[in-house]
């Protein structure tokens, strides 16, 4: 009889233990950390980063990278404010415009990168500047306060203390994980990141797959812009500066390989939680901004090193099992 323990999600256990350890550490260092207010505040601050991390996971899986997500978040927010204030349209129309703008920019990133075989680092670096400049032009380089017209998305629900944006972000995490693990598209993404040439030689067109990954990343950045605008009740052209680094950090902490072919949306979400808890905890214990950056950087490097050794150990175990099976005497 097979043990039911084999069905437990062991791949999530290590990150979950790290998260619990951080919570316990800051609970000892700060008298105010282990409170419901702290946890609900952290939860309601992460939807934008969480959905962007979903898109970044898809891009890293194909061995790409998207440096434009922070600027696309700002552009999406700027367009939402423009449609609401200047066009006097509903929040639904404004949200569609902002989110679709992110998707279109992602389509441009993916098409240029895949069609002309230009490194995504260069393409998305250019889009980073284009998106930020467009956000400044749209807002006139000024923050536009939008008030209660957008706040409902980020307002905590009565009784729960959690916002609709967080609920939607968690739902998207679940959907993203299902897409990666249960669909043909998800398997193609992993295959392209593992060995694109082999996928091409098998008769599968890799260009549409790579473009789709960038479209998803842009779409999630646009949705992140909606969440950010709703949380701050304003459209800020400076929003999302450096957010691409936080997203990459969360995804890498979650175990997604920068070389492609390995990753998990749920693990990326756990990486987002680890970063959020780390930053909030450091702020509560009085750490300065430079200190927070140094500690966060050290955590990222350590996470990558541990992930390398973990997968080396997994590869060695798989090799040992194969050798054992080959050398085992055949049973009568």
Neighbours of 164 (CB within 10 A): 17
Q: Work out the average pLDDT over 163-178.
A: 96
What is the pLDDT at residue 276? Answer: 95
For the chain, the domains span 7-287
Split at pLDDT 50, 70, 90, the class of 8 is very low
- What does the pLDDT read at residue 299? 77
**227-239: average pLDDT:** 95
pLDDT per residue as tens digits for the range 284-324: 998 888 888 888 788 778 777 776 776 666 555 555 555 55
Do residues 268 and 315 lie in contact, with contact meaning Cβ atoms separated by under 8 Å? no
User: What is the SS3 assignment for 186?
Assistant: helix
**What's the pLDDT tens digit per position in 88-141?**
899 999 999 999 999 999 999 999 999 999 999 999 999 999 999 999 999 999
Residue 240 burial class via C-beta count within 10 angstroms: exposed 0-12, middle 13-18, buried 19 and up: buried
Average pLDDT over residues 175-195: 95
What tokens appear for 163 in the block?
A: 């916002």
When computed from its CA atoms, the radius of gyration of the chain, rounded to whole angstroms, is 21
Q: What is the pLDDT of residue 204?
A: 93
Q: How many CA atoms, within 13 angstroms, populate the side-chain half-sphere of residue 86? A: 11
* Topology (CATH) of 7-287: ABC transporter involved in vitamin B12 uptake, BtuC (1.10.3470)
pLDDT level of residue 332 (50, 70, 90 thresholds): very low
- Cα distances (angstroms) measured from residue 217 to each of 46, 117, 190: 17, 18, 16
pTM over 0.95: no
254 is written with which tokens? 């979650």
Torsion of CA 229, 231, 236, 238, to 10 degrees: -120
CA of 94: how far to CAs of 78, 81, 140, in Å?
10, 7, 18
Q: What does pLDDT average to over the chain?
A: 88
- For residue 71, how many other CB atoms are within 10 A of its CB? 27
CA 332, CA 320: separation in Å to the nearest integer?
24
* Span 21-47, average pLDDT: 93
Confidence label for 218 from pLDDT (cuts 50, 70 and 90): very high
Question: SS3 letters for 257-288?
Answer: CCCCCCCCHHHHHHHHHHHHHHHHHHHHCCCC
Reading the block at residue 321, the tokens are 């099992």
The predicted pLDDT at position 201 comes to 93
């Amino acid at each position: 009889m097979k043990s039911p323990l084999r069905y437990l999600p062991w791949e999530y256990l290590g990150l979950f233990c790290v998260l619990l350890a951080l919570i316990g550490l800051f609970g000892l260092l700060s008298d105010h950390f282990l409170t419901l207010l702290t946890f609900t505040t952290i939860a309601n601050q992460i939807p934008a980063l969480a959905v962007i991390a979903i898109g970044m996971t898809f891009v890293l899986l194909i061995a790409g990278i998207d440096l434009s997500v922070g600027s696309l978040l700002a552009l999406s927010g700027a367009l939402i404010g423009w449609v609401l204030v200047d066009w006097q349209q509903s929040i639904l129309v404004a949200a569609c415009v902002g989110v679709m703008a992110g998707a279109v920019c992602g389509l441009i990133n993916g098409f240029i990168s895949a069609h002309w075989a230009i490194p995504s680092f260069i393409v998305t670096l250019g889009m980073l500047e284009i998106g930020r400049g467009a956000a400044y032009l749209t807002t006139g380089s000024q923050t536009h306060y939008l008030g209660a017209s957008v706040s409902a998305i980020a307002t905590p629900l009565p009784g729960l203390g959690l916002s609709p944006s967080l609920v939607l972000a968690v739902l998207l995490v679940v959907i993203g994980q299902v897409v990666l693990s249960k669909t043909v598209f998800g398997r193609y993404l992993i295959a392209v990141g593992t060995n694109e040439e082999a996928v091409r030689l098998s008769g599968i067109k890799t260009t549409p797959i790579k473009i789709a990954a960038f479209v998803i990343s842009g779409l999630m950045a646009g949705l992140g812009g909606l969440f950010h605008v709703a949380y701050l009740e304003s459209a800020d052209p400076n929003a999302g500066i450096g957010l691409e680094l936080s997203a990459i950090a969360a995804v890498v902490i979650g175990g997604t390989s920068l070389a492609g072919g390995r990753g998990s949306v749920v693990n990326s979400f756990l990486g987002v939680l680890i970063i959020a808890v780390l930053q909030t905890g450091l702020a509560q214990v009085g750490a300065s901004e430079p200190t927070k950056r140094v500690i966060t950087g050290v955590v990222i490097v350590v996470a990558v090193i541990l992930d390398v050794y973990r997968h080396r150990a997994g590869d060695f175990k798989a090799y040992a099992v194969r050798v054992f099976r080959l050398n085992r005497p055949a049973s009568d």
